[in-house]
């Protein structure tokens, strides 16, 4: 059998190919991944609900024939219910909640041949860009254990970066795939709105802000995974424009000469750390070297304060509806002591919003989306830093007792770039092209037109070939 450490840093497609050639069995892959989780998780706290018994049973049975047959995978502990396995959303209020069915996404993951090993750490209700829930404790960044892995898919990003699994589930309502991808030095693509299904429980979440996908080590894994999970399911309220061909065929296809808009200025005006600006400028120069046309310009941001208020109205209403729906599902009455102070403050904010205020906010966001769409008539890609700062120290979002909304304001300062694409529904990716002088990964953000993941995959593969990152291993991986 191939060396365990070498196996851990093969991507999912390579692991599946070993299974197809019968050089390794699915059970051997699963056991190797479990051993790695057991070795690293006491340090990283990335996996919060192991599913080892189910995984070994699946690996020992006849698996579906798919592109990832036998490959270990992890689910984030937020959305994507798996029948019979607890799903807490990082909250003590749901610490014993067990969903009665699989989501459509989970069924598609299983049909692709993936074997699910467990669920990964996430902040309470996925509300913050760090992964430090009171229920499970902080998840640690594999590149520096004192730093955040990002959020809300922080556990999944830490698991992929450290070699526990080649890819792991994530979702994104304000940057929750791209933020931890940047912090942990992995590839994170947020697909177009409604590219992946949210059923059977949801048609849309938070007015369309939230999408499902994954964090991966390689571009081709992300593309191949999106091929097997994407597409409308019966009853969906709307769906993304159909792809012209499989996404995996875009990987390695020439992107052509792209017109790329570029800025290091945050739309909200918050300061951008020199390392994050340097990462974006370095990526811009790389794109020029690859033959693309760069113009330093940004979408129109007139009225951005109104847009931010509208986003927060939808965000808070989404928090309130999540807690109220959890109360209906469990038969329990939510009280402040069952939630973290920051979560309860957002819940109360959302509960005070009227239906009229919510619909006006949605209208504001839709108008902003049309402004951004007009900008993309002239550009194929918009390039920015992913975040305004490198991975922050753990504890940076802890609110003082007298100011529970501090964490949300701090979050807005940290993530000024990513929420734009949740508002507009456009696909976007964080690409790990840069590490700073402290050895911390700094992601670079690329935004595509609505429905055009194909161009992003073609560009990402070109960047990956020019500056490979998949073989970079964080210090914890060698421990």
Residues whose CB falls within 8 Å of the CB of residue 399, separated by 6 or more in sequence, listed in order: 341, 342, 405, 406, 407
CA angle in degrees (0–180, nearest 5) for 7-120-325: 150
Tokens of 372: 């951004």
Q: Is 76 a catalytic residue?
A: yes
Query: Which of 24, 22, 17, 18 has the alpha carbon at shortest distance from 1?
Result: 24
Separation between Cα atoms, residue 408 and residue 130, nearest integer Å: 11
- Are 47 and 164 within 8 A, CB to CB? yes
Q: Is 288 helix (H, G, I), strand (E, B) or coil?
A: helix
- Are 313 and 353 within 8 A, CB to CB? yes
Nearest 10 degrees: Cα torsion 105, 37, 125, 363: -50
Q: How far is C-alpha 274 from the chain's CA centre? A: 24
Tokens of 478: 């060698």
Separation between Cα atoms, residue 135 and residue 429, nearest integer Å: 30
Q: Is 190 a catalytic residue?
A: no
DSSP 168: E
Among the listed residues 176, 182, 222, 369, the single catalytic one is 176
Nearest 10 degrees: Cα torsion 155, 435, 36, 34: 40
Separation between Cα atoms, residue 74 and residue 61, nearest integer Å: 19
- Are 382 and 258 within 8 A, CB to CB? no
Residue 381 host element (H or E) = strand 381-385
Among the listed residues 91, 103, 152, 153, the single catalytic one is 152
Tokens of 65: 């024939």
Q: Is 388 a catalytic residue?
A: no
Residues serving a catalytic function are 76, 152, 176
């Amino acid at each position: 059998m191939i060396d365990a450490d070498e196996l851990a840093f093969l991507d999912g497609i390579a692991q599946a190919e070993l299974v197809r050639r019968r050089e390794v069995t699915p059970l051997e892959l699963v056991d190797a991944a479990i051993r790695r989780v057991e070795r690293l998780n006491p340090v990283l706290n990335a996996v919060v609900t192991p599913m080892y018994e189910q995984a070994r049973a699946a690996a020992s049975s006849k698996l579906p024939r798919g592109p990832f047959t036998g490959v270990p995978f992890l689910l984030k502990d937020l959305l994507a219910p798996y029948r019979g396995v607890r799903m807490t959303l990082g909250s003590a209020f749901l610490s014993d909640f067990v969903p009665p069915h699989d989501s459509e996404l989970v069924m598609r993951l299983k049909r692709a041949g993936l074997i699910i090993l467990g669920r990964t750490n996430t902040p309470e209700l996925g509300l913050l860009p760090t992964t430090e829930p009171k229920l499970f404790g902080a998840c640690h960044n594999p590149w520096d254990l004192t730093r955040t892995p990002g959020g809300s898919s922080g556990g999944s990003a830490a698991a992929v970066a450290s070699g526990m699994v080649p890819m792991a589930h994530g979702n994104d309502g304000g940057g929750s795939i791209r933020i931890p991808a940047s912090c942990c030095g992995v590839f994170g693509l947020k697909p177009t709105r409604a590219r992946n299904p949210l059923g059977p429980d949801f048609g849309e979440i938070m007015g369309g802000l939230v999408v499902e996908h994954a964090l991966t080590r390689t571009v081709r894994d992300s593309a191949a995974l999106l091929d097997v999970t994407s597409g409308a399911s019966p009853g969906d309220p709307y769906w993304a424009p159909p792809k012209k061909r499989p996404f995996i065929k875009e990987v390695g296809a020439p992107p052509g000469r792209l017109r790329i808009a570029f800025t290091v200025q945050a739309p909200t005006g918050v300061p951008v750390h020199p390392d994050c600006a340097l990462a974006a400028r370095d990526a811009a120069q790389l794109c020029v070297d690859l033959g693309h046309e760069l113009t330093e310009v940004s979408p129109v941001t007139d009225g951005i304060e109104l847009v931010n208020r509208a986003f927060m109205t939808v965000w808070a209403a989404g928090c309130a509806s999540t807690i109220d729906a959890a109360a209906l599902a469990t038969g329990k009455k939510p009280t402040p002591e069952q939630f973290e102070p920051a979560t309860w403050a957002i819940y109360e904010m959302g509960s005070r919003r009227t239906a009229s205020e919510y619909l006006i906010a949605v209208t504001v966001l839709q108008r902003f989306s049309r402004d951004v769409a007009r900008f993309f008539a002239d550009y194929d890609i918009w390039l920015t830093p992913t975040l305004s700062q490198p991975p922050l120290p753990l504890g940076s979002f802890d609110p003082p007792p007298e100011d529970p909304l501090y964490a949300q304001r701090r979050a807005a300062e940290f993530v000024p770039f990513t929420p734009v694409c949740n508002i507009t529904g456009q696909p976007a990716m964080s690409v790990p092209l840069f590490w700073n002088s402290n050895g911390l990964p700094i992601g670079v953000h690329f935004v595509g037109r609505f429905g055009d993941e194909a161009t992003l995959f073609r560009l990402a593969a070109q960047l990956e070939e020019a500056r490979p990152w998949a073989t970079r291993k964080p210090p914890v991986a060698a421990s």
